[in-house]
Amino acid sequence: MVSETAARRPVWLWGFTFFVGMFGTGFAARWFDLGAIPSMLVMIPPMLLLTPFVRATERAQAGCGALSPAGRRYNRRGMAWSFSYVLLLAVAVIGSKTLHAQGPLLWLLALLPALPVFYLLWAMARYLVEEQDEYLRMQVVNAALFATGLLLGTATVWGFLETFRLVPHVPGWAAVPVWAIGLGLGSFVNRWRDK
Amino acid sequence: MNNRLKVLRAERGWSQQDLAVQLEVSRQSVNAIETGRYDPSLPLAFRIADLFGMAIEDIFQRG
């Protein structure tokens, strides 16, 4: 349960806490070599911060007259994607370890966490169709373009650094978190331009 | 593009929220149009013109 004072925290503080919590526990789990299953478990508490983060975002959007019914639905779908992604990732990691999966079962478990991404893509497409407010729609498109540019730039630079063995390998699934960060930054750029 | 939306709205005693509700858009959209940060699409410009009972060119002018 989030307290009244905590509920009024600005959206950037919730966002900062959420991302630091997620990436912090991720890096800590890798640094201390916790193993697959404990690494998943330590990421659950920061994941729960997503709910107050989204609620704070909606309060901020409503406060500046920018929360549409389509936007509210998109936020709900985004949360559903996030939680199902983490849940299926946990199922895949724990399942592959406990079942000593091989062959087709391992293929199935490996693909499991990727499935919610298609739901996210559908949710984005639905938002663009359902949003009746052309200005709000343009802002989301701007933020998505910002996120795509950030992802392409980061992936290209990192890829060449990796080719010349200057940085460690990063798995391809990191594209979605990088894109999500870009979407958040793009939204902040929109809000900054609106002031 | 310049526009007289803020003046026309004030003449009728409407708030940005009042205008937003009548146009079925967000208050942020009304604010963005009034301050010249966003030029509305042709369909929205027609809705604005219809609401004020004016021609589009009487509300929006070249900047």
Per residue in B17-44, pLDDT (tens digit) is 999 999 999 999 999 999 999 999 999 9
Name the domain boundary from A67, A84, A116: A67
So what's the ipTM on this one? 0.92
* A67, A135, A193 ranked by CB distance to B29: nearest: A135
Domain boundaries, chain B: 2-54
In a domain, A184, yes or no: yes
| pLDDT tens, position by position, A126-178 | 999 999 999 999 999 999 999 999 999 999 999 999 999 999 999 999 999 89
Which chain A residues contact residue B44 at CB under 8 A? Answer: 134
Of the three residues A45, A67, A89, the one that is the final residue of a domain is A67
Contact B30, A133 (CB under 8 A): no
Does residue A115 belong to any structural domain of this protein? Answer: no
- Partner-chain contact B29 A134, CB within 8 Å: yes
Domain of A45 in residue numbering reads as 1-67
**What is the rounded distance in angstroms from the CA atom of residue A11 to the CA atom of residue A31?**
29
Return the structure tokens found at A174: 């990191």
Considering only the top CATH level, what class is B2-54? mainly alpha
CA–CA gap between residue B12 and residue B35 (Å, rounded): 18
- Token match 């975002």: residue? A57
